Structure 1
């Protein structure tokens, strides 16, 4: 007889392996409030805060105070809809895919990642090396083939909500965008300057690396995510016409950023997390600057 899955008492549809250290009820990443030892549920945090007045003796009700704001494992406030940013990112990707179907190669030429390429008649050059920095980001929202966008958006819908719930909206969005830029930067650095590249795969690999970091932080079983990561890496190098540089760049960036977000000490959390963003962005700028200097 199989063991019954343990689910969060506030979100019955979410399996979890973490329990509140006070009441021992199961809680998911969205409900975890970091405490001095382990994690507590929002109700226990509010109850402890209300009963913390030392002036209230036995039988005396402590004065009502503003309850402590529950926080996720990364220090973010709990959101009513932990899938909002994921839905917005899905919408942007789908909207641009429809635009590509409508406008064709003209839109791809204007927004895809390309280092340096001659336009018709060789009159002038275009690409990131000529100042089209926006291509590093816009390329991560472009798709051409139906299977390409289908695979990436299914991956985003599967990986995005748990990460968004655990990290918070702003941190999740920063993770996604930095992973996308990291993938584009490595592609720009290593690939041939006239090789075009597009797709959200770099950002998706960043989310995959972040998922591994979060599961390790919560002491979950790592085998499923490691198997998934291994299979994706095999496909990355086994199949042709795949920009493996974007996958590896996104994976490295997402893993590093997520580590800084979930392992930041509580007393210096904001400083460490902002420093993580800054270092990741600085590394991306350096890679882009080196390649641009090489291309002259």
Structure 2
């Protein structure tokens, strides 16, 4: 076996194999810091004028004295690097859990918060829907769960997909992706589902995160097979012959997530904010038009 010569310093050369992030050894990556050449995962990437830097090189380059640069380090998508890259994900999880607990205590809340197209009858009598002016249901339904398994699967998806995306996009962009994907899912459900068919759950928003994750992995030249397998499995579950799943919310969220993800990951640096938030505005306007058209048809 080869040994280091006497007096040699430093560790022996690493064994060949897939590169892993120097701060997160359990994560494989194909991206390296442009300054120190260490491998970095999406959570550690800081956007530079060319390529990406690791957090250590960013701190060394910015300095701490009066002559330090005023520019704050940016993520891959141009967001501000945060001390806690999962803060918004944790808040969204907390909101979903809080609503779940509230519904468990008072089941009548379901009638008030679920997505319902037009007036119907429930446990306590007639219930109005979106067509009667209760547009807030398009949003509240995104945070509403009744079944434990439904809640668990959506929250696992939010945690697994949301954390890395929040680190890459930054808080504002990530929150826009989540809310617009969920809203697009609600709008497509309102448009295509039976008007008296209630719907609830964060699936539309989570599918939006999945769509953006596909774009991100393609952007970083990662192996796409695992995420495509996850997508295929979810689509099989979505369109299962036994029904019971609002496939419209899944499709609407997925399409919105892919569109917003492309804008976030591939916007040219000189027009990044315009392209990113302009795309978000287009998705929002399209969603509103769908809701207005469906409301007019039902009225």
Counterpart of 2:227?
A: 225
Q: Which moved further from structure 2: 254-263 or 179-188?
A: 254-263
Give the alignment of 1:130-145 within 5 angstroms: 130-145=132-147
How many corresponding residue pairs?
Answer: 281
Give the alignment of 1:121-160 within 5 angstroms: 126-160=128-162
The Cα shift of 1:12 comes to 4.2
The Cα shift of 1:36 comes to 4.5
Question: Alignment RMSD, CA only?
Answer: 2.2
Counterpart of 2:8?
A: none
Within 2, Cα distance between the matches of 1:204 and 1:85? 14
Match of 1:93 among 96, 107, 110: 96
Give the match's secondary structure for 1:256: helix
* TM-score (structure 1 length as normaliser): 0.88
Match of 2:248 among 237, 245, 250: 245
Give the alignment of 1:1-296 within 5 angstroms: 6-45=19-58, 64-66=67-69, 68-104=71-107, 106-119=108-121, 126-238=128-240, 239-296=242-299
Whether the 8 Å CA contact 1:186–1:245 is kept in 2: the answer is yes
Q: 1:193 to 1:213 in 2, by over 3 A?
A: same
Structure 2 alignment gaps of length 5 or more = 1-14
The Cα shift of 1:27 comes to 1.3
User: CA deviation digits over 1:220-278, x for unaligned, max 9?
Assistant: 11111011001100110014200000000010011111111111111111111110111
Within 1, Cα distance between the matches of 2:34 and 2:137? 48
Whether the 8 Å CA contact 1:46–1:67 is kept in 2: the answer is no
The Cα shift of 1:71 comes to 1.0
User: CA deviation digits over 1:33-58, x for unaligned, max 9?
Assistant: 334443233444566678xxxxxxxx
Within 2, Cα distance between the matches of 1:233 and 1:3? 37
Q: 1:80 to 1:5 in 2, by over 3 A?
A: farther
Whether the 8 Å CA contact 1:30–1:78 is kept in 2: the answer is no
* TM-score (structure 2 length as normaliser): 0.87
Structure 1 alignment gaps of length 5 or more = 51-62
Within 2, Cα distance between the matches of 1:155 and 1:201? 9
